[in-house]
Homo-oligomer: A and B are copies of this chain.
Amino acid sequence: MPVPPQDLAQEKLAQAAGILGEQGVDLWLTLVRETSLTRDPCLDLLGGTYCAWQGAFLVSRTGERIAIVGRFDAPAVRALDAWDDVIGYDESIRPDLRAAIERLDPASIALNWSESDPAADGLTHGLWLVLQATLEGTPYAERLVSSEHVVNALRGRKSPAEVERVRAAVAETEEIFEAVTRALAPGLSELEIAELMHAEVERRGLGYSWDRDHCPAVNAGPEKEVGHAGPSGLRTRRGELLHVDFGVSKDEYCSDLQRVWYLLDEGESEAPPDVRAAWDALWAAMDAGATALRPGAVGWEVDAAARRTLTDAGFPEPMYALGHQLGRTAHAGGTLLGPRWDRYESAPLGRVEAGNVFTLEYGTAVPGRGYVGLEEDVLVTDDGVEWLSTPQRDLWRVE
């Protein structure tokens, strides 16, 4: 039985107050509006709800939890049973929000904006301007800081209940991969494979870790441009690879795995040397990354250990990170196991913490064969990693 959502929200809200204390931040303010149109991802971390009108969710370092929401949004927030004080307003959020801030009198107010971390960047620019106007003439207008480090820690440090949920999503995913293995034969199209997987997801009442139209991403043979594109009419063929990138969401937590099959050609009993060489080099790189992955490690250093191993073996450098965090979404932000490239901003500079859940993923194209892409999900423990998925140590061969 998963921990009920209320208890999970309580658990994360208590954790939040502790993190505010640790980081010396007095108040964390999540400001939202019409959450069916724009949804700050932090709202779900706080227990979730729908807000039609402007809503403010305040967590103080002393553990106070105040929600100020529109009158019609208030009953659902009260039902969460996670907020000490739920204030429902009619005409304007501003007087109640200003009064709450004045009473708490924080020296710093953390808001959900971040240049580098999308998981901590849910505040819209328009709402930022609304807040500026609300606080105008008060000293608090000058006390606004980014919540990036608070959100990273809160989202990244998974509680045991959260880890169990990721584990359950991973288990479902592996069962669906087994169903693919059973059905697989030369001539099946990418679309047919995706359809089979969608039927499994829906039969099991699961959600998708990313948009259904490219979840799974299915890549048959060497002609497909690998990326976040949907499955096509391309068909599996003997002597070629099938690569699938896939994840499901179960009880609001996600998995993210890649698996690879090789369709044996006439007379073959194993994959050809070019495929095996890529497989072994990728696993050596993944293992080098896994060995470097421990509390205190800096994100880019973990990636560099893996990257060096792969390029030293003569393979091209992957144009993406070794691993990202995983949780309520497949890409859960925070510290990234990736190179210090401009597009990753400061995410690779973060430090790994116990309780983080990461993917480890590297891949390479094998000319004339297709794409080999490995991806596993791991939990960072006090002294290393625990594999949450059953690592695909061997290429799956289709007779």
In the docked arrangement, what's the CA distance between A41 and B9, Å? 27
Tell me the smallest distance from the CB of A134 to a CB of chain B, in Å.
Answer: 10
Number of interface residues of A (CB under 8 A): 67
Check A331 against B126 for contact (C-beta < 8 Å). Answer: no
From B38, B129, B319, give the contact of A118 (CB < 8 A): B38
Check A229 against B79 for contact (C-beta < 8 Å). Answer: yes
Closest partner residue, chain B, to A133 (CB atom): B115
Contact string against B for A residues 16-27, beta-carbon threshold 8 Å, 1 for contact and 0 otherwise: 000000000000
A210 in contact (CB, < 8 A): yes
A343 in contact (CB, < 8 A): yes
**Residues on B with beta carbons closer than 8 Å to the beta carbon of A99:** none
Check A38 against B36 for contact (C-beta < 8 Å). Answer: no
Tell me the smallest distance from the CB of A32 to a CB of chain B, in Å.
Answer: 9
Closest partner residue, chain B, to A121 (CB atom): B126
Closest partner residue, chain B, to A331 (CB atom): B34
In the docked arrangement, what's the CA distance between A260 and B342, Å? 56
User: Which residues of chain A (228-260) have a CB below 8 Å from chain B?
Assistant: 228-230
In the docked arrangement, what's the CA distance between A111 and B128, Å? 15
Closest partner residue, chain B, to A215 (CB atom): B50
Closest partner residue, chain B, to A330 (CB atom): B36
A221 in contact (CB, < 8 A): no
Contact string against B for A residues 83-101, beta-carbon threshold 8 Å, 1 for contact and 0 otherwise: 0000001111110000000
**Residues on B with beta carbons closer than 8 Å to the beta carbon of A227:** 71-76
A356 in contact (CB, < 8 A): no
Check A53 against B343 for contact (C-beta < 8 Å). Answer: yes
**Residues on B with beta carbons closer than 8 Å to the beta carbon of A90:** 319, 341
**Residues on B with beta carbons closer than 8 Å to the beta carbon of A92:** 341-343
Check B130 against A115 for contact (C-beta < 8 Å). Answer: yes
Check B214 against A333 for contact (C-beta < 8 Å). Answer: no
Given contacts A71-B319, A92-B341, A125-B123, contact A38 B37 (CB under 8 A): no
**Residues on B with beta carbons closer than 8 Å to the beta carbon of A36:** 210-211, 329-331
Check B126 against A50 for contact (C-beta < 8 Å). Answer: no
**Residues on B with beta carbons closer than 8 Å to the beta carbon of A76:** 214, 227-230
In the docked arrangement, what's the CA distance between A128 and B115, Å? 8
Check B72 against A122 for contact (C-beta < 8 Å). Answer: no
In the docked arrangement, what's the CA distance between A127 and B122, Å? 10
Check A50 against B91 for contact (C-beta < 8 Å). Answer: no
Check A228 against B50 for contact (C-beta < 8 Å). Answer: yes
Tell me the smallest distance from the CB of A318 to a CB of chain B, in Å.
Answer: 11
A206 in contact (CB, < 8 A): no
Check B37 against A118 for contact (C-beta < 8 Å). Answer: yes
In the docked arrangement, what's the CA distance between A114 and B111, Å? 18
Given contacts A71-B227, A90-B319, A121-B126, 9 further A-B contacts (CB under 8 A): A37-B119, A50-B211, A50-B228, A75-B229, A91-B342, A91-B343, A115-B126, A118-B126, A121-B127
**Minimum-distance CB pairs A-B, first 3:** A92-B342, A121-B126, A34-B118
